[in-house]
Amino acid sequence: MNIKYRIIILTITLLIIFALFLKVLNSNKVYQPNQMIGKKISAFVLEDLFDKKIKINSKELLDKDFVVINIWASWCVPCRVEHPLLMNLKKNNQINIIGINYKDERMNAKNFLKTYGNPYQLVGVDSDGEVSIKLGAYGVPETYVLNKGKIIFKNIGPINEDVVKKILQLKK
Amino acid sequence: MLFKKYFLIIVFFLFTTHSSLANEELKNKIYKNVRCIVCQGQSIYESNSDFALDLKKLISKKIDSGESEKQIYDFLISRYGEWIVFSPRLNFNSLILWLLPLLVFVVGGFLIFRLNRGKK
Amino acid sequence: MTAGSIGNLALIICFILNIYLIFSLTRKIKKKNFKDLKKIKFINNSIFILLLFSFLTLIYCFVISDFANVAVYQNSHTTKPLLYKISGAWGNHEGSMVLFVLILSLFSFLFSNSKVNDELKIYTIFFQSILIFIFLVFLIFTSNPFDQIDPKPLQGLGLNPILQDPLLVIHPPFLYFGYVGFSLVFSFALAGLVTHRFNSLWSKVSNFWILLPWSSLTIGIGLGSFWAYYELGWGGYWFWDPVENASLMPWLAATALLHSNIVTLKKDKLYSWTALLSIFTFVMSLLGTFLVRSGVLNSVHAFANDPYRGVYILSIILLITFFSLVIFIINDPKKSLIGNYSFFQRDNFILINNYFLIFFLSVVLVGTIYPIILEAVFGQSISVGPVYYNTILTPFLFVFLFFMAHGPLLNWNKEKGIKLKNIKIFFPISLILSSIIIFVLLDYKNIILFLALLFSIYLIASVVLDWIFQKKLSLNLGRLFSHLGFGLLIFSIFINAYSSKEINSAMKVGDEIKTQGFVIKFQGINKIKKDNYEEIFGNFLVSKGNEKVQLTPSIRKYDQPVQFTSETSIKTNFITDYYFAINLSEFEKNKIMVRFYYKPFMFWIWFSVLLIAFGGIYQTFRARNEY
């Protein structure tokens, strides 16, 4: 019957809409742009946190197989939360992390590292945030894994156990 | 000789003020078209958040150094995805955006046409 | 017993009464006993009174700052001015749901006490009561404003100072009275379908029940837009923001319904379409409700971000949609299109513009929903902003205006061609007027602007000149005001869009800027301290030629929670607005960021919205009297 046929179509349509919106409601709200995966990082030069005369140049990272970059700040609460995991990566797994101190005061940054420990091999100062934007970051903390200068992994927000596992996997 | 020198200076000033005016307009135009992704639906023009201010500074620098609007959008999109620019660029996804309503228009028109015809 | 628990008790009694009402109605329907409605009316009225009481109790809790109440705790503060304590009651998710159910009940109350065929009345109240039941369940069990916190907090979390505004006090009630009000014509349509009484008599009655909420929604949208203009500080008044779109979609559907209903009334046809629109309009209202409250949206003013609520609301909406459409499918009044059909008939033009309205609605719908779905399902992101809407809508708008100008001039019956008088007189007049405006009066010359002026003036001219030359006295004033208002609205929007100017700069006291024909002088600052904020005013003198305007924008620092807001200073001479806003500077400590906007015809935009609403209100009263 025409009526039955229409009701069936109606039911199917509404079920599809229901499923779609259910997916929408359950989806991740944090915007995770994965544009940069596979792309080469922009060139940058940063002053070292502890010694202004030393410059950290992105060129030096281009030939390394495995580089971890972590963007952080002393005023950033989630950075405090992920900090122990970064310390572990350095102590237990001997991973060299390059820190980029984002829009911070040098004094505060140094105090932060003195109080909680320094997981970084090197720390560069990005006082106006420009370099971070060039990398495609939009907040703190963010963590990147590079292979020969190309971004192979990006994590927005504080790292957790899963991210640590992923990083260790990538090292191989 | 003196006249020529002053003339050149005047022309130079006119040129720079004119282009700085045009630059300002261009910057504002771009700010209004770039989304502040840490805000809720605002453009960086309307936002005073850190991220918005940083982007504005960066874009301002880029315009002053002569980059074009398209270059700036390309730069941003390559880092943040299509979502950061408000006007939908023409690609497969946005094609549906433009075609879907037009489809409704055509189908509706067809239905009305049939309605009109059938009654004579 | 605390006030909160009394309010909650009232809700629960309502709930029980409502269930009883539904059973009583079901019994009557089964027995086909449509007489003796006294008991039904009494219960229905009681439910309304109880809900009203409950709502007033909630307001009372806010006024006395009873922070044991979750809603009061999360949204109020002892230092908040009284007016905003009161409006805080409906300025949050839970409180506004009480308002939502209250209005469902209000319309049921009004309808049951009006003169309508008993059978239709019973069925309508039946369907409306089911709606009330569904939303009462949602309210009491998931969004109860009377939920208590133990121990009682000493102070509330305060409300966002941006929302402490007189306009925002009245904006929600008008909106709700509007889009929730469409529930009644929804129920009335279902009643008509089921009883097979969907005819021109139905249309005569429903006219009132469409016009009343439509007028209110028009005002509500206008108020929201006006608020955005003077509060947000960027000179804009419509952003195609998803929450704005959520209120626009029911408005578009309702406008289509309004006109389609007139056709069913006058010509006894188009029933299927009108019935469908009655259902569709309310579904659009529900969709708006869902979008705003479920956390699905990314917007400046989206409500509660709770995904569980979202699932609830989604399920409710889809169930209501499903059952109403099933009723429609089963009872589709097929006797729709009778008689001769000619192109140049008024009802045909109304149908064509109905079609355009639905097209506009689909554009807004796609623009709002498509990005959400694309993101969630495919992980792709796309941005939809004003460029999209403006580009796609504008050309169709022009054609729409043309049909709108012509439709009322045609007869309801076969006509031998377009009235030549119109083409000969109105069109040249419009052409001349728009040419004068664009070439002589305005700076900006653009083909789109020219066409916009041409068609909007054509509409205005058709309405005005037809009124002047009208020989009959039975003139449709409601239509005159509303159509005139719409033409004026489009005219004003386009002039404003193309002639606005803006100046951005950083200034310190004593500075003067000369640019784009304006001179802006920063004369000085002064500070004041109020109850819950401190304010710094900037005194500016803006000159354009001989015209000098004094403006005093300010920056406020609120204390609970600590927040900075920018308050605009707007002066109008009815032709143009001078609009000024300031912000603290991030980069230069002794300067402030200034934004000056020169905005022509803003007043006429607001005036035309009022005109449209006024036409609706006028017609509402006429419809009331007619039945």
Residues paired with residue A55 on neighbouring β-strands, in sequence order: A47
Residues 578-607 of C with CB under 8 A from B: 583, 586
Structural domains in chain A, sorted by start: 45-171 (3.40.30.10)
For residue A52, the model assigns a pLDDT of 85
For chain C, say whether A115 makes contact (Cβ under 8 Å): no
Are the CB atoms for C211 and C182 separated by under 8 Å?
Answer: no
**Residue C490 and residue C397 in contact, taking contact as beta carbons nearer than 8 Å:** yes
- Mean pLDDT check: name the lowest of A144-158, B88-102, C65-79, C139-153: B88-102
Please determine, for residue C229, whether its predicted confidence score (pLDDT) is greater than 90: yes
CB contact under 8 A, B88 and C382: yes
Residue C563 has what DSSP assignment? E
C85 pLDDT above the threshold of 60: yes
Residue linked to tokens 């109905």? C354
Tokens 């010359």 — which residue? Answer: C445
pLDDT at C153: 83
* Phi, psi of C524, deg, nearest 5: 175, 180
What is the distance between the alpha carbons of residues A14 and C316, in angstroms, rounded to a whole number? 12
Assess whether B46 and B70 both reside in one domain: yes
Name C563's Cβ contacts closer than 8 Å, sequence gap at least 6. C160, C161, C162, C557
**Which tokens go with C266?**
């006058």
Q: pLDDT: is C374 or C543 the higher one?
A: C543
Instruction: Identify the residue with better confidence: C437 or B6.
Output: C437
CA atoms within 13 A on the CB side of C514: 1
What proportion of chain A, given as a percentage, has pLDDT over 70? Answer: 93
The mean pLDDT value for C600-624 works out to 95
User: Phi first, then psi: what are they for C586, rounded to 5°?
Assistant: -75, -35
pLDDT band at A35 (very low <50, low <70, confident <90, very high): low
Residues B61 and B108 in one domain: no
Report yes or no: B83 at the A interface, CB cutoff 8 Å. yes
Annotate chain A with DSSP letters as a single string. -HHHHHHHHHHHHHHHHHHHHHHHHHS--S----TTTTSBPPP-EEEESS-TT-EEEGGGGTT-S-EEEEEE-TT-HHHHHHHHHHHHHHHTT---EEEEEES--HHHHHHHHHHH---EEEEEEETTSHHHHHHT--SS-EEEEEETTEEEEEEESS--HHHHHHHHHHH-
* Residue B81 to residue A35, Cβ atoms within 8 A: yes
Chain C environment of B104 (Cβ under 8 Å)? 358-359, 362
Contact in structure between C309 and C294 (CB atoms under 8 Å): yes
**Residues of A with Cβ-Cβ distance to C326 under 8 angstroms:** 7, 10
Residue from the list A31, A129, A135 with its beta carbon closest to the beta carbon of B54: A129
Count of CB atoms situated within 10 Å of the CB of B75: 18
Task: Identify whether residues B76 and B116 lie together within a single domain.
Answer: no
Q: Which residue in B has a C-alpha nearest to residue C386's C-alpha?
A: B87
Chain C residue with Cα closest to B115: C337
Scanning C143-165, the segments in alpha helix (DSSP H) are: none
What is the model's pLDDT at position B8? 57
Q: Which of residues 31-70 of A touch B (CB under 8 A)?
A: 31, 33-36, 39
Residue of B51, B57, B81 with shortest CB distance to A33: B81
pLDDT tens sequence across C107-161: 999 999 998 989 999 999 999 999 999 999 999 988 899 988 877 888 887 757 7
- Minimal C-alpha gap between A134 and chain C (Å): 20
Neighbours of C46 (CB within 10 A): 16
User: Is a pLDDT exceeding 70 seen at residue C300?
Assistant: no
Under the banding of pLDDT at 50, 70 and 90, the label for residue C299 is very low
DSSP letter at B21 equals H
Contacts of B21 in chain C (CB under 8 A): 515
Token pair 């005001």: residue = C481
In this prediction, residue B6 carries a pLDDT of: 57
Size of chain A, expressed as the number of residues it contains: 172
Q: Is the peptide bond before B88 cis (omega within 30 degrees of 0)?
A: no
C596, two tokens: 């000056």
Lowest-pLDDT range, A49-63, B17-31, C481-495, C569-583?
A: B17-31
The answer for C 529-558 residues in CB contact with B (under 8 A) is none
> Which of A75-79, A96-100, B4-8, C231-235 is the most confident on average?
A96-100
- A48: CB partners within 8 A, 6+ apart: A54, A55, A56, A122, A123, A124, A125
Q: Which of A130-139, C299-308, C536-545 has maximum average pLDDT?
A: C536-545
* Averaged confidence pLDDT in chain C: 88
Are both B13 and B60 inside the same structural domain?
A: yes
Instruction: Encode pLDDT of B4-58 as tens digits.
Output: 555 555 555 544 444 555 777 788 888 888 888 777 667 888 777 778 888 888 8
Whole-angstrom Cα distance, residue C289 to residue C266? 34
CA C606 – CA C601 distance, rounded (Å)? 9
Q: What is the spatial distance between Cα C184 and Cα C278, in angstroms, rounded to a whole number? A: 9
Least CB-CB distance to B119: which of C298, C337, C502?
Answer: C337
pLDDT value for C609: 98
What ipTM, to 2 d.p.?
0.83
pLDDT, tens digit, for every residue of C349-393? Answer: 898 899 999 999 999 999 999 888 887 777 777 778 888 899 899
> Which residues in chain C touch residue B84, judged by CB atoms under 8 angstroms apart?
383
Chain B residue numbers touching C583 (CB-CB < 8 A): 48
Out of C294, C310, C326, whose CB is closest to A7?
Answer: C326
User: What are the backbone dihedrals phi and psi of residue C331, each rounded to the nearest 5 degrees, phi first?
Assistant: -110, 20
The DSSP annotation for C223-259 comes to HHHHHHHHHHSSS-S----HHHHHHHHHHHHHHHHHH
Nearest chain A Cα distance for residue C372, angstroms: 7
**Candidate from A31, A33, A133 with C-beta closest to B54:** A133
Taking contacts as CB-CB distances below 8 angstroms, the residues of chain C near B108 are 355, 358-359
Domain boundaries, chain C: 1-159, 501-603
Contacts of C298 (CB under 8 A, 6+ apart): B40, B41, C242
Q: Could you tell me if B14 and B72 lie in one domain? A: yes
Helix C346-373 and helix B92-118: axis angle, to 10°? 160
Where residue A134 falls among pLDDT bands split at 50, 70, 90? confident
Touching partners of A (3+ C-beta pairs < 8 Å)? B, C
**Contact call for B79 and A136, based on CB within 8 A:** yes
Locate the chain C residue with the closest alpha carbon to B104.
Answer: C359
Quote the pLDDT of residue A163: 83
CB atoms B48 and C583 under 8 Å: yes
Among chain B residues, the shortest Cα distance to C338 is held by: B119
pLDDT in tens, C476-510: 889 999 999 999 999 999 999 988 988 888 888 99
> Is the torsion defined by CA of A29, A30, A35, A39 positive or negative?
negative
In angstroms, the CA C603 to CA C577 distance is 8
Q: Average pLDDT in the C450-456 region?
A: 91
CA distance to A59, B76, C63, C466, per residue, from A101 (Å): 19, 22, 48, 71
Predicted TM-score (pTM) of the model is: 0.84
Compare B83 and A17 and report the one with higher pLDDT.
A17
From A23's Cα to the closest Cα of chain C, the distance in A is: 6
Domain count, chain B: 2
Q: Is C322's CB within 8 Å of A25's CB?
A: no
- Residues C182 and C193: their CA atoms lie apart, in Å, by 17
Asked if the C-beta of A31 comes within 8 angstroms of chain C's C-beta atoms, the answer is yes
Q: pLDDT per residue over C269-287, tens digit each?
A: 788 889 999 999 999 999 9
Q: How far apart are CA C1 and CA C602, in angstroms?
A: 52
Q: Which residues of A touch C315 (CB under 8 A)?
A: 18
Contacts of C383 in chain B (CB under 8 A): 35, 82-88
Residue C300 in contact with partner chain B when CB distance is under 8 A: yes
pLDDT at C304: 46
CB distance A129–B50 less than 8 Å?
yes
Residue C305 has pLDDT above 80, yes or no: no
- Nearest-CA distance A142 → chain C (Å): 20
The pairs formed by B28-32 with CB atoms below 8 angstroms and a separation of 24 or more are B28/C502, B28/C504, B29/B69, B30/B59, B30/B63, B30/B69, B30/B72, B30/B73, B31/B56, B31/B59, B32/B86
pLDDT (tens digit per residue) in C463-477: 888 887 765 555 688
For residue B35, the 8-state DSSP code is B
Confidence at residue C338, expressed as pLDDT on a 0 to 100 scale = 41
Is the minimum CB–CB distance between C234 and chain B shorter than 8 Å?
yes
- Whether A20 and chain C come into contact, CB under 8 Å, resolves to yes
Q: Confidence class of residue A33 from pLDDT cuts 50, 70 and 90?
A: low
Contacts of A6 in chain C (CB under 8 A): 329
pLDDT for B117: 64
- The distance from CA C3 to its chain's CA centroid, rounded to whole angstroms, is 33
User: Could you count the other beta carbons within 10 Å of the beta carbon of residue C200?
Assistant: 14
**pLDDT number for residue A167:** 83
Give percent above pLDDT 90 in chain C: 55
| DSSP H or E segment with residue C414 | none
**Residue C330 to residue A20, Cβ atoms within 8 A:** no
| pLDDT in the model for residue C597 | 94
The reported pLDDT for the residue numbered C303 is 46
Strand partners, A48: A124
pLDDT digits (tens, 9 = 90+) for C45-62: 999 999 999 999 999 999
Q: Compute the nearest-CA separation of B9 from chain A (Å).
A: 35
B98 contacts in chain C (CB < 8 Å): 388, 392
Residues 6+ apart with CB under 8 A from C363: B101, C389, C392, C393
Closest-CA residue in chain B for C385?
A: B86
Q: Which residues of C touch A10 (CB under 8 A)?
A: 322, 325-326, 329
B104 to chain C, any CB pair closer than 8 A? The answer is: yes
Interface of C with A (CB under 8 A): 294-296, 307, 310-311, 314-315, 318, 321-322, 325-326, 329-330, 372-373, 375-377, 381
Q: Count CB neighbours of B25 within 10 A.
A: 13
Closest CA to C560 of C517, C530, C521: C530
Confidence (pLDDT) at C86? 92
* Least Cα separation, residue B51 to chain A (angstroms): 6
Residue entry with tokens 């940083």 = B54
Q: How far is C307 from chain A (nearest CA, A)?
A: 6
What's the CA gap between C28 and C124, in Å, rounded? 13
Chains with ≥3 CB–CB distances under 8 Å to B: A, C
* Weakest mean pLDDT among C179-193, C248-262, C410-424, C594-608: C410-424
pLDDT above 80: residue A38: no
**CA nearest to C448, candidates C404, C500, C403, C490:** C490
Tokens of C28: 């009557």
Inform me whether the pLDDT recorded for A155 exceeds 90.
no
Please give the Cα distance from C221 to C228 (Å, whole number): 11
For the record, the structure tokens of C359 come out as: 């097209």
Residues spanned by the domain of B102: 92-120
- Is there a single domain that holds both residue B19 and residue B64? yes
pLDDT at C293 over 90: no
Q: Is A8 on the interface with C (CB under 8 A)?
A: no
CATH code, domain carrying B48: 1.10.8.640
* Lowest model confidence (mean pLDDT) among A47-61, A110-124, B37-51: B37-51
Q: Which residue has the higher pLDDT, C552 or C311?
A: C552
Helix axes C447-469, C427-436, angle to 10 degrees: 130
User: B116 and B78, same structural domain?
Assistant: no
Chain A hits for B38, CB-CB cut-off 8 Å, are: 138-139
Q: Which residue is listed with tokens 């800027």?
A: C513
Q: Which of C306, C366, C377, C586 to mutate to test the interface with A (most CBs of A within 10 A)?
A: C377
**What pLDDT is stored for residue B16 in this prediction?**
47
Pick the more confident residue, B16 or A89. Answer: A89
CA C388 to chain CA centroid, Å, is 21
Q: In what order do the strands lie in the sheet with C501-507?
A: C501-507, C592-600, C576-584, C569-572
The residues near C620 (Cβ < 8 Å, ≥ 6 apart) are C208, C211, C212, C215
Token look-up 């829009």 returns A103
At B69-92, the pLDDT tens digits run 888 988 888 888 777 887 666 677
Arithmetic mean of pLDDT over chain A: 84
**pLDDT score, position C337:** 45
Name which of A12-16, C52-56, C247-251, C472-476 the model is least confident about: C472-476
